[in-house]
Structure 1
Amino acid sequence: MAGSRRNTVTGARGRTARLGGIALAGLLAAALTGCGAAARDDDAPAAADGGGGAYPVTVATSQGEVTVESAPERVVALGFSSADELISLGVAPVKVAVDPDTLAENAPWLVDPLTEAAGGDLASVADPSLVTADGSPDLEAIATAAPDLIIAEVYQVPDRAAFDRLNAIAPTITPDTDAFNPDWDERLLSTAAAVDRTERARELIAELEEEFAAAGAEVPGIGDRTYQWVRADDNGYVFGNGSLFELFGMRPADNQDNTQTAAALSLENTGDLDADLLAVWAQTEERQAELEADPLFRELPSVRNGTVYFAGLDFANAINSPAPISLRWLRDELSPVVGALA
């Protein structure tokens, strides 16, 4: 722990999330944990160097304000979204709470950027021991990594006591919200403030919004096209937060529940999945086959028009906690089905 560091914590406030995934995806992402490849075009990610020399900096977090006294040199990311943000901002984390053996399955967009940030040795940075099976921080393992800054997920510090334990190891940054899935731009700006990369974060936000809008503009009348995003369970469909599709210029279907609080849609009401574009996470190949054989499902407008997208776990993880690299991966994944709306 750096002797010059001081952690200052005051009151917190919350906001609702705009971007997120289906709740189960978040739990899976936590359990399994843990834009172009790099945010800067002219160099590889490096340890945070303080940018304009703004330190000390005070960052508003979900549990109050935290002061980072000096430019961090050992940044630990407690999830692949936090790692995505850091790398996109040009900062190489020293440890990331991901399993190198399953990263390609769970977050394929991060494999190459994280390997590059690790100097070619992914295993030296990817460390699943930093979190427990449910995604909670393992304080002993994190302390062993000797961080001088920790970028955490909101759900990993659900209360002040949990936050204080982590913050005692090193200044701990989460977005200033109590939402389970904070807005992607809010998350990015929060991380950027701690590593003095706010200007770069704003540039990335503008770039990503322009890229999605450009893809959506290829479809005449995109603003009138509707979307739905659901997880298929044994007994029906659960709506997830599909606000990502609005970056393309689309609008939610009347029953699309981005708050993730509505009751599940029963199988007998499959016909209510009547959006122009339907993204569905079937979870298994068997369930997808069942859907594709279901007469009610086969009559959906999106199925008949070729604008249904069958998501995998990687997509569910990406939309659950999007960050610049995963957002560009999502854009590339979805552009063909969005383009098919034309």
Structure 2
Amino acid sequence: MPSARRLPAALLLAALTLSACGGPQNSGQDDQASGGQGGFPVTVEDATGEVTLESPPKRIVSLSPTATEMLFAVGAGDDVVAADEYSNHPENAPTTDLSGFTPSVEAVSEYNPDLVVLARDAAEAAQQLRTVDVPVLVIPAATTLDEAYGQMRMLGRATGRPEKGDEVADRVKSQVDEIAEQTADEIGDADLSIYHELDEGMYSATSDTFIGQLYDRFGVQNIADSAEDTAGGYPQLSSEYVVERNPDLIFLAYGGEGAVRAVSNRPAFDEITAVRNDDIVRLDPDISSRWGPRVVGLAESVSEALTAAAQEG
């Protein structure tokens, strides 16, 4: 795969302009080959406003692991020519050393993209690409399940696959809803409480966040919700706070088996119900931090843990 290299500003501008304004991938023949199912030109709305795509993109650069998963899910995987360094799913994703946190416009341009998908934190790169007429979609981290479903639909439309985008969003929503409803019935009035730990610094997530909303769907109490300073939905809790709230389950969104042992060995944590009952659950770090189609797997993991804890009680 091409490696990033420094380009003079004039050459960079020329390369980007050529990729946006010409080339076989933007021809009418490509529009016809795609079946015109997207009804191009198509206007979609991203985090910065309305974005119009004149033709189906055939060379997509995805600098967001979640966006990469969504693009493959809606059937646009063959059109993704490069993905960022953390896009490790699916296995055939064209992972590169491109950074999604600090994108290099020069490195991105080497892939001659006709669509770049970025995370919201990369707004500066988005502005530079748009200056030379490269279509860019800026997708923020979803804060609700509905936002995640909406992004799946949007990427379906943007890639000329609106029906597939709707199908994926509807399927994921239906499966998550079914898992949540069945789990709520199974745990009944167990009145379980949970603590979700994002990292060793004991940052957590309230019900105002994406992962917090998922827990809320199961009808459990999130101890982070009563923290004095929720810090935009991600408060840093103290050991004393967690021990006092005494959660029935602890979910870890990082680390390996060593992380479970480390949490168990914290001072006074042996008093916590979750620790006494070995109900410290290590979630897949990637799945628990993304809001793509694999949220179904996350819901299943949470469901299994909650059901087992309710049966213990």
Give me the TM-score of the superposition, normalised by structure 1. Answer: 0.66
Number of the residue aligned with 1:60:
45
Q: Tell me the distance in 2 between the aligned counterparts of 1:262 and 1:80.
A: 21
Residue type at the aligned position of 2:281: Y
Contact kept in structure 2, 1:215 and 1:248, CA below 8 Å: no
Amino acid at match of 1:95: V
Match of 2:212 in 1: 243
Distance 1:97 1:170 in 2: 17
The structure 1 residue matched to 2:289, chosen from 316, 320, 325, is 320
Q: How does 1:117-196 map to 2 (within 5 A)?
A: 125-128=94-97, 130-131=98-99, 135-157=101-123, 161-167=124-130, 168=132, 170-175=134-139, 183-196=147-160
Residue identity over aligned pairs, in percent, reads 22
CA distance in structure 1 between the aligned counterparts of 2:244 and 2:213, rounded to whole angstroms: 21
Equivalent-residue separation in structure 2 for 1:94 and 1:301 (angstroms): 47
Instruction: Give the Cα–Cα distance (whole angstroms) in 1 for the partners of residues 296 and 40 of structure 2.
Output: 31
Aligned-partner Cα distance in 1 for 2:190–2:103:
42
Which letter maps to 2:126? Answer: F
CA distance, structure 2, for counterparts of residue 206 and residue 53 of structure 1: 18
The answer to whether the Cα contact below 8 Å between 1:49 and 1:73 also exists between their aligned partners in 2 is no
Query: Which amino acid in 2 is paired with 1:97?
Result: A
- Secondary structure of the 2:126 match is helix
CA distance in 2 between counterparts of 1:250 and 1:302 reads 18
Does 1:199 pair with 2:163? Answer: yes
SS in 1 for 2:268: helix
Q: Does 1:96 align with 2:82?
A: yes
- Read off the aligned partner of 2:188 and give its amino acid letter: G
1:337 lines up with 2:300 in the alignment:
no
8 Å contact kept, 1:227–1:251: yes
Q: Is the aligned partner of 1:266 residue 2:232?
A: no
Aligned residues: 269
TM-aligned CA distance change 1:253 to 1:191, over 3 Å: same
Q: Is the 8 A contact 2:254 2:285 kept in 1?
A: no
The 5 Å alignment of 1:107-118 reads 107=88, 110-112=89-91, 115=92
Once the two structures are superposed, the pairs formed by residues 272-287 of structure 1 within 5 Å of their partners are: 272-281=244-253, 283=255
Structure 2 stretches of 5 or more lacking a match? Answer: 1-18, 24-32
RMSD: 3.3
- Using CA pairs under 8 Å that are at least 6 residues apart, name the structure with larger relative contact order, 1 or 2: 1
Mapped contact 2:176–2:299 kept (Cα < 8 A): yes
Whether the aligned pair in 2 keeps the contact of 1:292 and 1:298 (CA below 8 Å) is: yes
Give the deviation of 1:152 after TM superposition. Answer: 1.3
- Of 172, 179, 182, 1:215 maps to 179
In the alignment, residue 160 of structure 2 is paired with which amino acid? Answer: D
Amino acid at match of 1:204: V
1:307 aligns with 2:279: yes
2 CA distance for matches of 1:251 and 1:50? 46
Per the alignment, in what secondary structure is the counterpart of residue 176 of structure 2?
helix
In structure 1, the residue matched to 2:13 is none
Change (3 A) 1:203 1:180: closer
Normalized per residue, which structure has more helix? 2
Preserved CA contact (<8 Å) 1:86 1:191:
yes
Query: Gapped runs of 5+ residues in structure 1?
Result: 6-47, 116-121
Contact 1:82–1:151 (8 Å) recurs in 2: yes
Counterpart amino acid of residue 72 in structure 1: P
What TM-score do the two structures reach when normalised by structure 2?
Answer: 0.72
Deviation at 1:61, TM superposition (A): 1.9
Which structure has the larger Rg? 2
Could you tell me how far apart the structure 2 residues matched to 1:294 and 1:52 are? 56
